[in-house]
Structure 1
Amino acid sequence: TQLALLKALTPLFNMTAIRPVVNSKTCTNVSIIFTIYGILGVVCSLTSLSLFQWWPNEFVTWDAGQCGSDRISLPREKFWVPDIVINEFMDENTAPSVPYVFLFNTGMVHDAHPVRIISSCNLDIYTFPFDIQNCTLTFNSYLHYGIESSCVTDNLGSPLICVIFWLQIRLKRRATMYVVNLLIPSCFLITVDLFSFLLPPQSVDRSSFKMTLILGYTVFLLIMNDLLPVTGNAIPLINVFFSLCLALMVASLLETIVITNLLSGAADFGPVPNWIRVLLLQILGPLVYLFLISPFYYFKIEMKTQVGKNENIKAPTEVGSPVDEGKAVQELRSLGKDVQSIRLLVEKQLKQNDSEEEWIQVGFIIDRLLFGLYILFITVSFITIIVIWVNSYG
């Protein structure tokens, strides 16, 4: 019976302090099997697994037919237990303890218990949320010198930590949640800001619309901040994407302010500086398909005064009095001076209107240039996200 078997095994319980071998030079082969049930988190590396290990006890064997059982469950503290540890442990094991082990009739001790590992792992989160992590769990014994004698030493002659075996865990993140909650809303907001360039700046206030978008995007980033990684050796690419999106939104708001100022106050500005005219109007303008075409032209007004008589037009005369030619010439000269003054005023107005048109053209070129940068950024971002996503599944 089990009671008789337990009574027969009682002397064995006083031998927990020594390794269960008859000869101290005999090696004890400890076998380990583990099953990973889940990754609870990757803040450090929180893993839940079941550890199965067994080893022989040379002090005990029995006949299963005579004793009525081939195994018996006994308290763990009654047996010698190997000091197999995991080097990457960062905290104590918080899994529920199993107080019993199985002792088989062959002398084999079978120990099964859950392990909750909080371990250190070097995370490469550059391609988050499409990243793949490789974490290692190393099993070894610090106490038994029989294993240490087979270890390799380094160049300085000092012995290295003896490794029994190591387990490499390959973690692949499920990126769908991050794509739906982070990338797609961000792309929607940046696309709405892109289409806001289609609003005519001369009749619609873009600035309030863009300011609302910036505030909404900032609140969105604050809400979703908990989904972003906080550990790692490099800045994640998704953080760079969010920063560039916010920078483009702010740049578009500043550009809208500049455009509004140019459209409303271009008449008060002086002539366009030469370097701005060369850089924007002559170089960047053709690149964004905006050419400098002014509706105003300079006209040269040539005035010719003909002195003489016209056969069809007779000079006004007074009946009974001679024609005062000197007075007529004086009036014509006065009229010519008035026409010349009007001509100068018209030329000045035309030049002022042309300068105003150049400033407005500068604003439109800046607007078109930022619009092109927006399209380029969104296109490159979409292609990069799709390529990284496809490669992560490959």
Structure 2
Amino acid sequence: MQLDSTAWIIAIYSPLLQVVVATFNCTSPTPQSLFDALEKELVRRKSHPPVQNFSKAMVISLDVTVVGILGVKEKEQALIMYLWQVLEWDIEGLSWDEKECGTNRVSILREKLWYPDIHISEFMDEDKSPITPYVYLYNTGHVYDDRPLRVVSTCKLGIYTFPFDIQNCSLTFGSYIHFAKDIRIVPSTTPEEVLRESLDVAQTDGEWELINIEIVPITLQIAVGNYSQIRLNTILRRRPILYIVNLLIPSCFLVTLDLFSFLLPPQSVDRSAFEMTLILGYTVFLLLMNDLLPDTGHETPLLNVFFCLSLALMVANLLETVFITNLHFHSSHYGAVPRWLRILVLQYLAVFVGLRPVQANRVTVSLPDQAQAVTASVISSRELHRVFGDLLPEKPADHALEELRKLSRDLQAIRLLMDYEVKGSKVSQEWKMIATIVDRLLFGLYVIFLTVSLTTILVIAYLSRFI
């Protein structure tokens, strides 16, 4: 009796076991027989997800390989990449016997199968990917879909440290309509394996290089439900050699040449002509290299600031040269230096730039000590002989007295003239000293600017190598 019950159970559940193990049988081990059987099975499974229980989420395995970085558009904030995307999933209840049908794998049109609606959220252009209509279907019901993708995605680019910038652009893979309880996306490989494979198959060696890849499974939570997604973070680094050779080095040469213009005498007209030639050359250089500089509309690269400040210093140097040249040639016609300017420049700024104002020497003309007590109006003949002794010729005393008075008036006139010249020379010397201090101050600012700029560029370039 027990044996009859066992045989009855086997007889009842035998068709169900055949459904699980082998959904269909081939009449012969030929492709035609297999495809005829598949046609009937796939048609009725195409309209709905190939699951036997709706309470169980369908698992989609995703693998992505970065084949090439085609370009980065700073103005459009876009990244163009070439990828290989591999999707894998199982059609539950579909299988066949390899010996009966003659093969364990066939290629079949993608449109013949139910296909998951996996899309990239950052996609911002029409799909111009190469058309690959076939996928692999295994005898276990496993589907293997490998296709190339040309992705134009949006990416928030930061170009402040251009040309040593590093960008982190994300690609988010997920279902467009199915919730996480219906479709769950999982990565099939680790980030290290994806990075290694991407570097091995990379076909481009352009401006950008791939330095790291991160794969992060996430869940998008919105009001209507949750979506299962995978975020692929691609970390790119710009190769700066093109911009160093074409932008940085020529600019540093011109700015250094302008720095050496301080060695020319400020009163020389050649210095002004030299400065004007440098400004013209630097302006033409910036106009020619303008296409190499990125522009995002909301962020200015630090290199652009360096160029603007360099041009501003060149213009300031030219204006300062005109100012001090004017002081050197026309300072004798100026009035006395204002007290506040004398204190600010000649006392404080002079010490700051390492100069000391030169004190003007005052020239004083005076008669001998024995003649200081003798007035020109009352000099007697006896006093005249006592003071000058044998120096006077043998002439009448009145005539000698008249000559001495005339000599005294001439000496007074000479002294007044000397005092005027000495006073004017002192004022002119103070103005020239102010010009020298201003020239030294601008030279110091120029040196500080170049030192800080070059140090900043070298530090950014050094740090970018270790990220």
Please indicate, yes or no, whether the TM-score normalized by the shorter chain is above 0.5: yes
**2:132 is the counterpart of 1:98:** yes
Task: Pick one of 263, 266, 275 that aligns with 2:328.
Answer: 263
Asked whether the equivalents of residues 140 and 162 of structure 1 are also in contact (C-alpha less than 8 Å), the reply is yes
Per-residue deviation, 1:53:
0.2
CA distance in 2, matches of 1:153, 1:178: 40
**1:32 lines up with 2:65 in the alignment:** no
Q: Tell me the equivalent position of 2:385.
A: 310
Output the TM-score relative to the length of structure 1. 0.89
- Map 1:160-175; keep pairs closer than 5 Å: 162-175=227-240
Aligned counterparts of 1:101 and 1:232: Cα–Cα separation in 2:
44
Q: Which amino acid aligns with 2:283?
A: T
Q: 2:294 pairs with 211, 214, 229, which one?
A: 229
Alpha-carbon distance change, 147 to 220 in structure 1, aligned in 2, over 3 angstroms: farther
Contact 1:56/1:109, CA 8 A, preserved across alignment: yes
Please say if residues 255 and 310 of structure 2, whose CA atoms lie closer than 8 Å, have aligned partners that are also in contact.
yes
% identical aligned pairs: 48
Pick one of 352, 375, 394 that aligns with 2:447. 375
Structure 2 CA distance, aligned partners of 1:256 and 1:32? 67
CA distance in 2 between counterparts of 1:176 and 1:86 reads 33
- SS of the residue corresponding to residue 58 of structure 2 reads coil
Question: Using the alignment, how far apart are the partners of 1:97 and 1:235 within structure 2?
Answer: 40
User: 1 CA distance for matches of 2:43 and 2:452?
Assistant: 72
Q: SS of the counterpart of 2:329? A: helix
Q: Cα 1:347–1:52, aligned 2, differ >3 Å: closer, same or farther? A: same
Instruction: Give runs of aligned pairs for residues 176-191 of structure 1, distance below 5 A.
Output: 176-191=241-256
Inter-CA distance 274–78: structure 2 relative to 1 (3 Å threshold)? same
Q: Does 1:69 align with 2:103?
A: yes
Q: Among 154, 164, 177, which residue is 1:120 paired with?
A: 154
Deviation at 1:131, TM superposition (A): 2.1
Closer/same/farther in 2, CA of residues 314 and 186 from structure 1, 3 Å limit: closer
Structure 2 counterpart SS, 1:29: strand
How many angstroms does 1:246 deviate by? 1.2
Say whether residues 1:55 and 2:89 are aligned partners: yes
Unpaired stretches in structure 2, ≥5 consecutive residues: 1-29, 185-217
2:458 alignment partner in structure 1: 386
Secondary structure of 2:405's partner? helix
Is the deviation greater in 208-217 or in 301-310? 301-310
User: Which SS does the other structure have where 2:181 is aligned?
Assistant: helix
* Partner of residue 193 from structure 1, selected from 250, 255, 258: 258
CA distance in 1, matches of 2:124, 2:132: 21
2:432 equivalent among 360, 375, 381: 360
Alpha-carbon distance in 2 for matches of 1:387, 1:381: 10
Distance 2:270 2:177 in 1: 76
Q: Which deviates more, 55-64 or 209-218?
A: 55-64
Which aligned pairs between 1:233-312 and structure 2 lie closer than 5 A?
A: 234-294=299-359, 296-299=361-364, 301=366, 304=372, 305=374, 307=379, 308-310=383-385, 312=389
Q: Secondary structure at the match of 1:136?
A: strand
Kept after mapping to 2: 8 A contact 1:152/1:160: no
1:94 is paired with a residue whose SS is: coil
Q: 1:20 to 1:316 in 2, by over 3 A?
A: closer
Partner residue, 1:336: 408
Cα deviation for residue 52 of structure 1 reads 0.4
Q: Is the 8 A contact 2:58 2:182 kept in 1?
A: no
SS at match of 1:355: helix
Counterparts of 1:39-50 in structure 2 under 5 Å?
A: 39-43=69-73, 44-50=78-84
Distance 1:36 1:194 in 2: 47
Matched residue SS, 1:51: strand
Are residue 129 (structure 1) and residue 163 (structure 2) matched? yes
CA contact (8 A) 1:296 1:353 kept: no
Deviations 1:300-322 (A, max 9, x none): 5457336224153487677xxxx
- 1:128-147 deviations in Å (ceiling 9; x for gaps): 22222222221221322353
| Alignment-derived partner of residue 211 in structure 2 | none
TM-aligned CA deviation for residue 194 of structure 1: 0.6
Cα pair distance change 1:200/1:86, threshold 3 Å: same
Distance 1:185 1:218 in 2: 12
Matches of 1:342 and 1:101, distance apart in 2: 112
What is the RMSD of the two structures over their aligned residues, measured on CA atoms? 2.7
Q: Would you tell me which structure has more strand in proportion to its own residues?
A: 2
* Partner Cα distance (1:141, 1:153) in 2: 11
What is the CA–CA distance in structure 2 between the aligned matches of 1:309 and 1:344, rounded to whole Å? 26
TM-score by length of 2: 0.76
1:343 is aligned with what amino acid?
R
The aligned amino acid for 2:97 is D
Deviates more, 1:365-374 or 1:157-166: 157-166
Q: Which residue of 2 aligns with 1:216?
A: 281
Aligned counterparts of 2:165 and 2:297: Cα–Cα separation in 1: 12
Q: Give the CA deviation at 1:33.
A: 0.7
Q: Answer yes or no: is the 8 Å Cα contact 2:220–2:229 preserved in 1.
A: no
Distance 1:58 1:153 in 2: 27
State whether residues 20 and 58 of structure 1, in contact with CA within 8 Å, keep that contact through their aligned partners in structure 2: yes
2:206 matched residue in structure 1: none
Structure 1 residue 324: deviation in Å? 6.6
Q: State the secondary structure of the residue aligned to 1:145.
A: coil
TM-superposed CA distance for 1:177, in Å, is 2.4
